[in-house]
Amino acid sequence: MHEEWTLFLLLLDKMLSSASSTVYFKQFYLGCLAHASYLIGDSGEAAVIDPQRDVDQYLDEAGRENLRIKYVIETHLHADFVSGHRELAARTGAQIVIGAEANAAFPHFGAREGDTLRLGTIELRALETPGHTPESICWLLLENGKPAKVITGDTLFIGDVGRPDLAGGRGYTPQMMASMMYDSLHNKLLKLPDDVEVWPAHGAGSACGRNISTETSSTIGVQRRTNYALHPMSREEFVTLMTNEIPPAPPYFSRDAEINRRGARALAEVTAAPLAADRVREEINRGAIVLDVRDPVTFGKEHISGAINIGLGGQFASWCGTLLPAEAPLVVCADSVPRASEAVMRLARVGIESALGFVTSAEEFDRASIPQITVSDLRERRFRVLDVRRKSEYEMGHVPSAQHIPLDELPRRISEVAQNGPLAVICASGYRSSIASSLLQRERFPDVLNVVGGTAGWVRAGYAVES
């Protein structure tokens, strides 16, 4: 009887605890940057983890949930986007929390192993996990003293772990960072119970990892079984795996990390206005780049001569940061004022604040076009083909005899592309190939064609591929 009564009390306590729980947890996922941020709250108090630069969404959500943002937490000095931590703290009075090793140049609390932040009844406990960067910290969320979730930043992704070559010239080699990552994973994260949920800062498409899943959350147990980087291996094997054939970091990474170390200005201060045609021509003569943000087909029909096409419909900000010269003055060409304003905001997300203004028509300028061809046109006409996908994509299957130069390498390897006759540019769908086509046309390639539908369309049509 005593045992039955004890069991009843335990079950009742569990039911009451569950019923009274007010824990709020939401992931905000930004597809174009493959970036995840978080709002966590309890009993009217909240923390935002790894905020993107445009912070209104967190303020709006916190207001709806009657939460006061008490902490703004950074898991590390992000390199692939500019964070809104300073603006969010200024607008809420929250304390910024970042790893002590970050040497941040703004008022903050430098977190160390075991430091705890309390939100109502829940705790966020710091786990120092260097490896991706020296200051990387994962945050373990405890409910009723029990580990429930871990926000892993760029240390542990779903299906991958963070690249070890972004120490930012602080005296660490990739091998040293990979060795630290091994310890962080095996001595910290893999010591957690299997049912602890994993919530990373990035998903598929991010350059911060090489094999990131399309899933945006998982558990320690699932990752233990399925993540290639967590399979049993020696430290030496892990270091070799992590440092072998690391793709070059996009050039804007180091700039964004430094902006985040200082703290970016408020996004509202980054603006652009419409420009008269004469002013645009003057700026082009001075070296400004016309950035056309329309879709590939619209761009192909007609655009300002010399414009670079990076459409808002894809990973716009990442490709702008990768391909546009740092600090180059920009003139945005969009099909409407709202789209131009969106482009300026999304450029600011990766630290590009050099937009002089925008135009919404090409009519008053010298114009050019890029023909759009189908995969059947490509097969029938047998054009030379340039494939600008990533190496792994190309090796899985490509149009026979296609030359391969990944898009991020094209600006420095453009001399490898011959100019003898028509050149059909292809990617997976037509987005990256339109970017590449515009870069080639800007470099005076006379007869460039963009393949709409890309290799995906080629495969769907049943045409032969090489691998």
Q: Give the residue-averaged pLDDT of 291-312.
A: 97
Check: CB of residue 117 under 8 Å from CB of residue 124. yes
Q: Give the residue-averaged pLDDT of 288-312.
A: 97
In a shared domain, residues 101 and 247: yes
Q: In the chain, how many domains are there?
A: 3
Going by C-beta distance under 8 Å and a sequence separation of 6 or more, which residues neighbour residue 58? Answer: 28, 37, 39, 48, 51, 69, 88
In a domain, 432, yes or no: yes
In a domain, 465, yes or no: no
pLDDT value at 16 more than 70 = no
Q: Could you give the dihedral angle defined by the CA atoms of residues 145, 150, 151 and 156, in that order, rounded to the nearest 10 degrees?
A: 160
C-alpha closest to that of 169 among 134, 138, 207, 130: 134
Check: CB of residue 334 under 8 Å from CB of residue 316. no
**Predicted local confidence at residue 334, as pLDDT:** 98
What order of strands is seen across the sheet that includes strand 45-49? 24-30, 35-42, 45-49, 68-73, 95-99, 109-111
Chain segment 257-268, per-residue pLDDT in tens: 999 999 999 999
**Predicted local confidence at residue 19, as pLDDT:** 41
Residue 4: pLDDT band by 50, 70, 90 thresholds?
low
**Predicted local confidence at residue 172, as pLDDT:** 92
- The CATH number linked to 351 is 3.40.250.10
In a domain, 390, yes or no: yes
In a shared domain, residues 230 and 280: no
Q: Give the residue-averaged pLDDT of 68-77.
A: 98
Q: Give the residue-averaged pLDDT of 117-133.
A: 97
In a shared domain, residues 379 and 232: no
In a domain, 467, yes or no: no
> Scanning the structure block, which residue is given the tokens 């998903």?
203
Q: Which of 262, 280, 307 is a domain's end point?
A: 262
Comparison of pLDDT for 461 and 247, the residue scoring more: 461
Going by C-beta distance under 8 Å and a sequence separation of 6 or more, which residues neighbour residue 5? Answer: none
In a shared domain, residues 198 and 303: no
pLDDT value at 18 more than 60 = no
Q: Which of 192, 227, 262 is a domain's end point?
A: 262
- Flag the least confident range among 61-75, 140-154, 241-255: 241-255
In a shared domain, residues 63 and 162: yes
**Predicted local confidence at residue 461, as pLDDT:** 95
pLDDT value at 14 more than 50 = no
Q: Which of 199, 229, 262 is a domain's end point?
A: 262
In a shared domain, residues 13 and 159: yes
- Flag the least confident range among 46-55, 105-114, 246-255, 428-437: 246-255
Check: CB of residue 134 under 8 Å from CB of residue 162. no
Burial (Cβ within 10 Å: 0-12, 13-18, ≥19) of residue 199: buried
In a shared domain, residues 352 and 413: no
**Predicted local confidence at residue 392, as pLDDT:** 87
- Tell me, letter by letter, the H, E, C secondary structure of the chain: CHHHHHHHHHHHHHHHHHHHCCCEEEEEEEHHHCEEEEEEEECCEEEEECCECCCHHHHHHHHHCCCEEEEEECCCCCCCCCECHHHHHHHHCCEEEEEHHHCCCCCCEEECCCCEEEECCEEEEEEECCCCCCCCEEEEEEECCEEEEEEEECCECCCCECCCCCCCCCCCCHHHHHHHHHHHHHHCHHHCCCCCEEEECECCCCCCCCCCCCCCCEEHHHHHHHCHHHCCCCHHHHHHHHHCCCCCCCCCHHHHHHHHHHCCCCHHHCCCCECCHHHHHHHHHCCCEEEECCCHHHHHHCEECCCEECCCCCCHHHHHHHHCCCCCCEEEECCCHHHHHHHHHHHHCCCCCCEEEEECCCCCCCEECCCEECHHHHHHHCCEEEECCCHHHHHHCECCCCEECCHHHHHHHHHHCCCCCCEEEECCCCHHHHHHHHHHHHCCCCCEEEECCHHHHHHHCCCCCEC
In a domain, 274, yes or no: yes
**Predicted local confidence at residue 250, as pLDDT:** 87
**Predicted local confidence at residue 167, as pLDDT:** 82
- Flag the least confident range among 18-22, 140-144, 424-428: 18-22
pLDDT value at 13 more than 80 = no
**Predicted local confidence at residue 6, as pLDDT:** 43
In a shared domain, residues 420 and 392: yes
In a domain, 279, yes or no: yes
pLDDT value at 7 more than 50 = no
Q: Which domain holds residue 324?
A: 270-368
pLDDT value at 12 more than 70 = no
In a shared domain, residues 174 and 210: yes
In a shared domain, residues 155 and 170: yes
**Predicted local confidence at residue 72, as pLDDT:** 98
Check: CB of residue 433 under 8 Å from CB of residue 452. no
In a domain, 161, yes or no: yes
Q: Give the residue-averaged pLDDT of 357-383.
A: 95
pLDDT value at 102 more than 70 = yes
Q: Could you give the dihedral angle defined by the CA atoms of residues 377, 380, 383 and 385, in that order, rounded to the nearest 10 degrees?
A: 70
Comparison of pLDDT for 148 and 15, the residue scoring more: 148
Q: Give the residue-averaged pLDDT of 106-126.
A: 97
In a domain, 466, yes or no: no
pLDDT value at 368 more than 80 = yes
In a shared domain, residues 158 and 181: yes
Check: CB of residue 183 under 8 Å from CB of residue 190. no
Residue 168: pLDDT band by 50, 70, 90 thresholds?
low
State the average pLDDT for the chain. Answer: 93
- The CATH number linked to 236 is 3.60.15.10
Q: Give the residue-averaged pLDDT of 213-233.
A: 97
**Predicted local confidence at residue 169, as pLDDT:** 66
What φ, ψ does residue 314 adopt, rounded to 5°?
Answer: -120, -150
In a shared domain, residues 433 and 447: yes
Amino acid at site 57: Q
